[in-house]
Amino acid sequence: MGSKRSMLLNGLGDLVAETAPTAKRFVDLFSGSGAVAIHVATKYDIPVVASDLQTYSAVLAGAVLERQTALEWEKIWDAWHGAAKTIYSRHRPPKVERISKKSIEEFRDWSSRRPSMPLTKAYGGHFYSPVQAIWLDAFRATLPVKQPARTVALAALLDVASRCAASPGHTAQPFQPGRMANRYIGEAWAKDVPSLSKEILRSLSKVHAKQVGTTKTADANSAADDVKETDLVFIDPPYSGVQYSRFYHVLESVATGSPGEVSGSGRNPTRERRPQSRYSIITGATKAFSELLAKLGDKGATCIVTFPAHDCSNGLSGDAVRKIAGENFKVKEKLVQSRFSTLGGVNVKVGNGRVARHAAEELILTLSPK
């Protein structure tokens, strides 16, 4: 997942360290992987509110933010794994012995005939091997019932699903069989879902917030209605003119448990299941961002904004972001080196089929009330 994790070590972390301790809450309006929200929640003694348009994001952040103590993961794992194993044993998924066009067709055919296993039916033989897909369904169907164990287990499963997907860093399209891609498909499909799930559940259980926070699945401009003057607001909006939901639809399906009807080589869900954002529409992004900053300026909150310094495919640019910020706030600026996932929005040649990332400069703006 494209995240601000590396920027936390490259300027952003220091800025948060200067501003977070005096804020009453930290509000991350585009929380994505939850990297920044989780960083703040585990380091500073303030509640964190994380929101994003996509459901999976609230799960990832919620697994840490909504908990002030470590979880006893062994008992949770034993019950979860036992229940999933019972479901898994009812199926006999074909094992991956060799990757070829023919074997992949057989895996897809087998998977498409599993009506009771929604993730397998949608993604088996595409993003996941049949064995992985049946395990993902089995774990998804047997999540712990009680909170916070349920959210922590689901966040672990999202991480597993992200690591096992035979796709280039996001889940817009799986690799298609071919001389170059077969190696990547083989590497992804060699990953063992149960042992990864156990390992991630174990490590995630130990991470918790200093103060209990909350998560929301919401549009940033609506979520901003709840912002208070004493909040520190983090704003890391989309920079791509292609909807994020196109890149993370498989994770959204794991989070909701239901992919619905999917189609095409990307196994795309129907449009109603793909949250649409004004921030990824070239005619809407600048207006959406201006409205958001005007609202936050009226509230008198302090904000940190990160954005690529160059022109971006959603019509926003570093210059526009700087200008809009200046209309509503006093602005302090920092420029750092960064790496962006191109998310389909920038032309970068990718010879080996791996994720397209390119180096560029990124702005970090600190906004304080005028």
Q: What are the residues binding ligand SAM (CB under 6 A)?
A: 3-4, 30-33, 35-36, 52-54, 57, 219-220, 236-238, 244, 277, 279
In sign, the C-alpha dihedral spanning 244, 249, 252, 256 is: positive
The C-alpha atoms of residue 241 and residue 244 are separated, in whole angstroms, by 9
Q: Cβ(53)–Cβ(275) under 8 Å?
A: yes
Least distance (Å) between residue 353 CB and ligand SAM: 23
Q: Cβ(49)–Cβ(28) under 8 Å?
A: yes
Least distance (Å) between residue 233 CB and ligand SAM: 12
| The two three-digit tokens of residue 155, written as one number | 């966040």
Residue with smallest beta-carbon separation from ligand SAM: 32
The smaller minimum CB distance to ligand SAM, of residues 35 and 188, is found at: 35
Least distance (Å) between residue 108 CB and ligand SAM: 29
Least distance (Å) between residue 284 CB and ligand SAM: 9
Burial of 365 (0-12, 13-18, 19+ CB in 10 A): buried
| The two three-digit tokens of residue 295, written as one number | 């609202």
The smaller minimum CB distance to ligand SAM, of residues 277 and 286, is found at: 277
Least distance (Å) between residue 85 CB and ligand SAM: 33
The smaller minimum CB distance to ligand SAM, of residues 101 and 163, is found at: 163
Q: Cβ(330)–Cβ(261) under 8 Å?
A: no
The smaller minimum CB distance to ligand SAM, of residues 30 and 184, is found at: 30
Q: Which of 320, 310, 328, 316 is closest to 367 using CA atoms?
A: 328
Q: Cβ(224)–Cβ(296) under 8 Å?
A: yes
The C-alpha atoms of residue 208 and residue 206 are separated, in whole angstroms, by 6
Q: Cβ(48)–Cβ(254) under 8 Å?
A: no
The smaller minimum CB distance to ligand SAM, of residues 111 and 215, is found at: 215
Q: What is the secondary structure of 15-48 as a DSSP string?
A: HHHHHGGG-SEEEESS-TT-HHHHHHHHHSSS-E
The smaller minimum CB distance to ligand SAM, of residues 141 and 281, is found at: 281
Least distance (Å) between residue 32 CB and ligand SAM: 3
Least distance (Å) between residue 19 CB and ligand SAM: 16
The smaller minimum CB distance to ligand SAM, of residues 53 and 364, is found at: 53
The verdict on whether omega for the bond into residue 148 sits within 30 degrees of 0, i.e. cis, is: yes
The smaller minimum CB distance to ligand SAM, of residues 31 and 302, is found at: 31
Least distance (Å) between residue 23 CB and ligand SAM: 18
